[in-house]
Amino acid sequence: MELAKLDTREHAIFLSVSDEATVGLRDIDMALLEALGLKTDLRGQYRCSYAAALYDSRVREDFSPEGLATLTGTAGSLSYEVVSGGYPTMDEAHILLDGMDYMRRGRKEKARRARCSACMSPGTILW
C-alpha cells in the first residue's frame, strides 16, 4: 500500500472514515494506520465518525461513536477541513482542501484526481 511509504514530514494525509467504512478493516490495515502515528483503534467501531490529518510530523485525530468528527486547520499553505459523520449524522463527510471538496461519496463515485482513494498536488494524499 502506498501509505506505508509516506513520511508525514514531506506529505500531508487526510482521512475521513464514516458509517460502515470500518467493516472491512483488517489487522494489517490497523497496523499501517498505527505505523503512521494514529492512535484510535477503529476495529469494531461500526457506524462511527473518524477524521484524521497528518502533516509536518503532526497527528490530529477526532473520533465520535455517534456525532460528527471534525478537524480544521492549515498544513503549510493549505487550509483543510475534514468532517466525518456516521449513520446518526446522515453520513455527512467531506475533505475540503482550500475550499474544494475531494471526498469520494458512495462506491461508484470517483474522487477528484484519484491516486490512492484520492490525491491532489504532489505531497498531499487523501485516503
| Tens digit of each residue's pLDDT, the chain (127 residues) | 466 677 777 788 888 887 677 777 888 888 888 988 999 988 888 888 899 999 988 999 999 988 899 999 999 888 999 998 877 777 678 889 898 887 765 544 444 443 344 433 334 444 4
pTM over 0.85: no
Boundaries of domain holding 22:
2-126
Starting at the edge strand found earlier in the chain, the sheet holding 100-101 runs 68-75, 78-85, 93-97, 100-101
Number of structural domains the chain divides into: 1
CA-CA distance, 1 to 4, in Å (whole number)? 6
